A and B are shown apart, each in its own frame.
Chain A
Amino acid sequence: MSSVQETSGLAAESYLTEHTVGSWLLTTDHKRIAILYLVSIVFFFAIAAVAAAMMRVSLLWPDGRLVLPETYNKLFTIHGVLMVWFFLIPSIPAVLGNFVIPMMIGARDVAFPKLNLLSWYLFMLGGAFVVYSVIVGGVDTGWTFYTPYSTTFANPNVITMVAGVFVAGFGSILTGLNFIVTIHKMRAPGMTWFRLPLFIWSLYSTSLILVLATPVLAITLLAISVERIWGLGIFDPNLGGDPVLFQHMFWFYSHPAVYIMILPGMGVVSELITCFSRKKIFGYYFIAFSSVAIAVVGFLVWGHHMFVSSQSMYAGMVFSILSFIVAVPSAIKVFNWTATLYKGSITFETPMLYALAFIGLFTIGGLTGLFLAAMAVDVQLHDTYFVIAHFHYIMVGGMVTGFMGGLHYWWPKISGRMYPELLGRIAAVVTFVGFNLTFFPLFVLGYLGQPRRYHSYPPEFHIFHVLSTAGASILGIGYLMPLIYLVWSARYGERAPANPWGATGLEWRTPSPPPRDNFEETPLVTDDPYDYSAIEAELIDQTGLR
């Protein structure tokens, strides 16, 4: 991307103009940092995807012929650790959020630009630790690091891997802090809280979680290391410790983290649906506050991961009821997005296809979440492939789809170039088909009782694994296509105008790619967000079309 240097009248001096290595590695420009993150998470995604591919191929045989059990266990660990902490959590916040938050609120940068760069370095340092621990032999605990397996039985690489996640976590905390302060203090004149785009509301909620939950993860990971190094006995039952305590601490972070991995996707979809249906969003306040509600209630449901862990029945009951409650704000969003389409003027560009796919896949993911929140049913489904299918519908079907939608939507702004529309649409459809074929059979498999993290399995489960692997190869093509054509388009794509989608929002009122300081002069906000009826009226005058 650094090679984009051709000048045009519109964006003679853009943020991409300078292209020395130093100008990238020492940049404090939120837009450049976003691109640093983009390149890094694609790298980590690639490693984690290769791990997934190896697992899926191995599962083509009931006795798992491609890799040994030990290798298989290391593969799902590296897949989980990298996908969760080094792809999903930074994906929308650190890439798209970094790029567009300041522009959406009319600011020149985030509140603490140097801290922003530090976040990326911490993230990369953490990533280096994780990659190192894989190179020196890998870890086979799963991304959940359950004790006492991780503390007493697994190999010592656990410490380096945990250290990597620990360090990267501080990057997350600083990013969250930066966004919160930016959104509070850096809004342009007239940009009141209820004129904020919904993407900002969702990332504000996400940032709250990042700042409040990640320190608990840090404590938990530290406890693992301390236990391993000094044999302290926090989790070791032979020393009077309690291995289940770890699960409480881990999920106290990791359940809110699930919302870090979906709220930003919801934010993107709220932008896309309204833009491509040329309609003001239905239920702005409800969508905005449902994000906040999810962030708050999301802190109180961690025990639904532990119904059969030996947690008390009564504790389980509280966690179950709260899990049903936290589903309500998600339902509100889905209904409001659908209602937004009513009387719209809908077009189906690539970002919109991703947004519609998001609604479908997220709804299935959310509904299957109810199965797992229902205690008696969870007894059967817990720790089976049903759970795998459920959270992939949320995290891949939801978050990754949202990320792809957002990436295509803002790509003209980021790169100054248009991506090839037809290829984009094809890739979106291929991804959707491949995704469903990969993960839908796993729901059946889970109900039948196939536990997760199995290198080999009884022969009657075979057909479902074959279907899933077939789907995964289609899914792989769906992800490979954008990687190729986006990189291609960054150099050879058609030049993008400032506002290719006719979208509302301040980020579209500045050239593509934007100048270093985003705006020539600080914008003044006088309208509510998503006032598409005004834009539409203008368009009808010009073309006579609705």
Chain B
Amino acid sequence: MPFHLIPPSASTNAGDVDAIFWALTGLSVFILTIVFGPLTYFAVKYRRGSKADRTPPRLATWKFEVTWTIIPFIIGMGIFAWAADVFFHIETPPSNALEVDVVGKQWMWKLQHAEGNREINELHVPIGQPIKLTMTSQDVIHDFFIPAFRVKQDVVPGRYTTEWFTATKVGRYYIFCAQFCGTSHSSMIGWVDVMHPVDYQRWLVTTGQGETMATAGQRLFNQVGCSGCHGVSSKIHAPRLEGLYGGPVPLEGGQVVTADDKYIRDSILLPASQIAAGYQNLMPSFAGRLSEDEVMQLIAYIKSLASEPSPGSNP
């Protein structure tokens, strides 16, 4: 039975997380010592029948109480701040990350790279390059957990969650689903293949689909009829999508939201929930007509329109 006592450490985050982990382990050993040292000593020295001195101690007990209230509190706050700082780093993807979209379903992972390459239960990534995963689920809550990278994030239906990492060691590492998701939860295991950038480029070319996610989204945009209303030549009074992504959208009723992935997803699947100011609720829902990965392709397309000049006459 081959085994390890510590998990492989293969991302830039891993060292930071492990440092706190081992500091806490050290602290725990220290506290166990200062509790069980005296406890054992007292238990032996003051066992019934021993000759120990038992004259009632004259102690200012409040000094003890204050000491063992304040010191644990300060240590706790220190660890809190340290761990929160690292957590913020883990949770905030850098802007130059390569993007991969992930859809979880009972009981597999479907992944698609921005370049268009699709994978199932495998994720090929280059070394030394931040990778950002945008994830959603088609059914129940899953969780994308890569122990070697010390990253984990629930994958929630109806939401997009993100996870990022920069791999540092070539190799194959587990992807576990960490949130119980039904009968075959424990078979929902995948692999991350960390490759040298050169190998990764070669992999991208050999497994390429011929179209990027954005172009796939564009094809879909015309195919399912989005372009009929939102297209450049449309005569219908519908919001134009050029320059939309990432900007503010005024809603009917005065609220202003940001046009992020979640907003676009909701606009496609639950269009009545947020009506852009100045428009009527005409759009049909595409719920049930588009799969989660197709919605993600459409988002990639709309995102690609972000840099195009928005039509000046916003009604």
Return B180 CB to nearest CB of chain A, in Å.
4
Return B169 CB to nearest CB of chain A, in Å.
16
Chain B, residue nearest A341 (CB): B42
Q: B270, A240: Cβ atoms under 8 Å?
A: yes
Of A73, A346, A375, A461, the residue contacting B183 (CB under 8 A) is: A73
Chain A, residue nearest B76 (CB): A324
Q: A149, B182: Cβ atoms under 8 Å?
A: yes
Which 3 A-B residue pairs are closest in the complex by CB-CB distance?
A237-B158, A449-B147, A374-B83
**How many Å lie between the Cα of A115 and that of B87 in the bound state?**
49
The answer to whether A320 has its CB under 8 Å from any CB of chain B is: yes
* Contact partners of A374 in chain B: CB under 8 A: 20, 24, 79-80, 82-83
The answer to whether B179 has its CB under 8 Å from any CB of chain A is: yes
Q: B43, A341: Cβ atoms under 8 Å?
A: yes
Q: A383, B4: Cβ atoms under 8 Å?
A: no
* Contact partners of B80 in chain A: CB under 8 A: 320-321, 324, 373-374
List residues of B (34-85) whose CB comes within 8 Å of A's CBs.
35-36, 38-39, 42-43, 46-50, 52-57, 61, 64-65, 68-69, 72-73, 76-77, 79-80, 82-85
Of A64, A243, A339, the residue contacting B64 (CB under 8 A) is: A339
Comparing B95-103, B116-124, B148-156, B206-214, the segment that makes contact with chain A is B148-156
Chain A, residue nearest B39 (CB): A338
List residues of B (154-189) whose CB comes within 8 Å of A's CBs.
154, 156-159, 161, 174, 176-187, 189
Q: A460, B3: Cβ atoms under 8 Å?
A: yes
How does the 8 Å CB contact mask read for A433-473 relative to B, with 1 for contact and 0 for none?
00000000000100111111111111111111010000000
* Contact partners of A317 in chain B: CB under 8 A: 84
Q: A238, B6: Cβ atoms under 8 Å?
A: no
Chain B, residue nearest A545 (CB): B49
How does the 8 Å CB contact mask read for A155-175 relative to B, with 1 for contact and 0 for none?
000000000000000000000
The answer to whether B273 has its CB under 8 Å from any CB of chain A is: yes
The answer to whether A344 has its CB under 8 Å from any CB of chain B is: yes
* Contact partners of B73 in chain A: CB under 8 A: 325, 328
**How many Å lie between the Cα of A534 and that of B141 in the bound state?**
61
Q: B43, A356: Cβ atoms under 8 Å?
A: yes
Excluding A69-B185, A146-B180, A376-B86, 17 further A-B contacts by CB distance (< 8 Å) are A140-B183, A142-B180, A153-B182, A237-B157, A237-B159, A243-B156, A283-B65, A308-B143, A321-B77, A324-B77, A344-B42, A370-B24, A370-B28, A374-B79, A376-B83, A377-B21, A378-B83
* Contact partners of B86 in chain A: CB under 8 A: 375-376
Chain A positions near chain B (C-beta within 8 angstroms): 64, 69-70, 73, 140-142, 146, 148-149, 152-154, 237-238, 240-244, 277-278, 282-283, 286, 307-310, 313, 316-317, 320-321, 324-325, 327-328, 331-332, 334-336, 338-339, 341-348, 356, 359-360, 363-364, 367-368, 370-371, 373-380, 382-384, 444, 447-464, 466, 533, 545-546
Q: B178, A383: Cβ atoms under 8 Å?
A: yes
Chain A, residue nearest B83 (CB): A374
Interface centre among A142, A146, A152, A331 (most CB of B within 10 A): A331
The answer to whether B108 has its CB under 8 Å from any CB of chain A is: no
Chain B, residue nearest A344 (CB): B46
Whether A456 contacts B186 in the complex (CB less than 8 A), given A282-B61, A328-B73, A343-B46, comes out as yes
Chain A, residue nearest B70 (CB): A328
Of A336, A379, A546, the residue contacting B87 (CB under 8 A) is: A379
**How many Å lie between the Cα of A341 and that of B50 in the bound state?**
14
* Contact partners of B161 in chain A: CB under 8 A: 310
Return B139 CB to nearest CB of chain A, in Å.
7
Return A62 CB to nearest CB of chain B, in Å.
10
Q: B61, A283: Cβ atoms under 8 Å?
A: yes
Whether A338 contacts B38 in the complex (CB less than 8 A), given A243-B141, A283-B65, comes out as yes
Q: A240, B273: Cβ atoms under 8 Å?
A: yes
Return B273 CB to nearest CB of chain A, in Å.
6
Whether A375 contacts B79 in the complex (CB less than 8 A), given A449-B176, A451-B145, comes out as no
The answer to whether B2 has its CB under 8 Å from any CB of chain A is: yes
Q: A370, B76: Cβ atoms under 8 Å?
A: yes
Q: Is the interface of A mostly helix, strand, loop or mixed?
A: helix
Return A15 CB to nearest CB of chain B, in Å.
33
Q: A345, B72: Cβ atoms under 8 Å?
A: no
Return A95 CB to nearest CB of chain B, in Å.
28
Chain B, residue nearest A458 (CB): B174
**How many Å lie between the Cα of A452 and that of B143 in the bound state?**
12
* Contact partners of A545 in chain B: CB under 8 A: 48-49
Whether A345 contacts B83 in the complex (CB less than 8 A), given A146-B141, A331-B72, A377-B17, comes out as no
Return A384 CB to nearest CB of chain B, in Å.
7
The answer to whether B287 has its CB under 8 Å from any CB of chain A is: yes
The answer to whether B236 has its CB under 8 Å from any CB of chain A is: no
Chain B positions near chain A (C-beta within 8 angstroms): 1-7, 16-17, 20-21, 24, 27-28, 31-32, 35-36, 38-39, 42-43, 46-50, 52-57, 61, 64-65, 68-69, 72-73, 76-77, 79-80, 82-88, 90-91, 106, 139-141, 143, 145, 147-148, 150-154, 156-159, 161, 174, 176-187, 189, 270, 273, 287
Q: A376, B186: Cβ atoms under 8 Å?
A: no
Interface centre among A277, A316, A374 (most CB of B within 10 A): A374
Q: B46, A149: Cβ atoms under 8 Å?
A: no
Whether A308 contacts B180 in the complex (CB less than 8 A), given A283-B65, A343-B46, comes out as no
* Contact partners of A348 in chain B: CB under 8 A: 43, 47
**How many Å lie between the Cα of A444 and that of B21 in the bound state?**
12
Return B209 CB to nearest CB of chain A, in Å.
29
Of A278, A346, A454, the residue contacting B186 (CB under 8 A) is: A454
* Contact partners of A242 in chain B: CB under 8 A: 158
Q: B3, A447: Cβ atoms under 8 Å?
A: no
Chain A, residue nearest B149 (CB): A380
Whether A313 contacts B83 in the complex (CB less than 8 A), given A237-B158, A341-B43, A379-B152, comes out as no
Return A226 CB to nearest CB of chain B, in Å.
19
Chain A, residue nearest B86 (CB): A376
Whether A328 contacts B76 in the complex (CB less than 8 A), given A237-B158, A449-B174, comes out as yes
Whether A244 contacts B21 in the complex (CB less than 8 A), given A331-B68, A460-B4, comes out as no
**How many Å lie between the Cα of A241 and that of B266 in the bound state?**
12
* Contact partners of B32 in chain A: CB under 8 A: 363-364, 367
Chain A, residue nearest B185 (CB): A453
* Contact partners of A282 in chain B: CB under 8 A: 61
Q: B5, A444: Cβ atoms under 8 Å?
A: yes
Chain B, residue nearest A447 (CB): B7
**How many Å lie between the Cα of A53 and that of B69 in the bound state?**
40
* Contact partners of A283 in chain B: CB under 8 A: 61, 64-65
Q: B65, A286: Cβ atoms under 8 Å?
A: yes
* Contact partners of B150 in chain A: CB under 8 A: 379-380
Whether A383 contacts B143 in the complex (CB less than 8 A), given A338-B42, A341-B46, A368-B28, comes out as yes
**How many Å lie between the Cα of A75 and that of B113 in the bound state?**
39
**How many Å lie between the Cα of A317 and that of B55 in the bound state?**
48
* Contact partners of A327 in chain B: CB under 8 A: 72, 76
Q: B48, A149: Cβ atoms under 8 Å?
A: no
Of B7, B55, B141, B174, the residue contacting A148 (CB under 8 A) is: B141
* Contact partners of A332 in chain B: CB under 8 A: 65, 68-69
Of B53, B151, B156, the residue contacting A379 (CB under 8 A) is: B151
Chain A, residue nearest B173 (CB): A449
Q: B139, A153: Cβ atoms under 8 Å?
A: yes
* Contact partners of B65 in chain A: CB under 8 A: 283, 286, 332, 336
* Contact partners of A307 in chain B: CB under 8 A: 87
* Contact partners of B154 in chain A: CB under 8 A: 308-310
What are 10 sample pairs from A and B whose C-beta atoms fall under 8 A apart? A146-B179, A321-B77, A363-B32, A374-B79, A377-B24, A380-B150, A448-B7, A451-B186, A455-B186, A546-B50
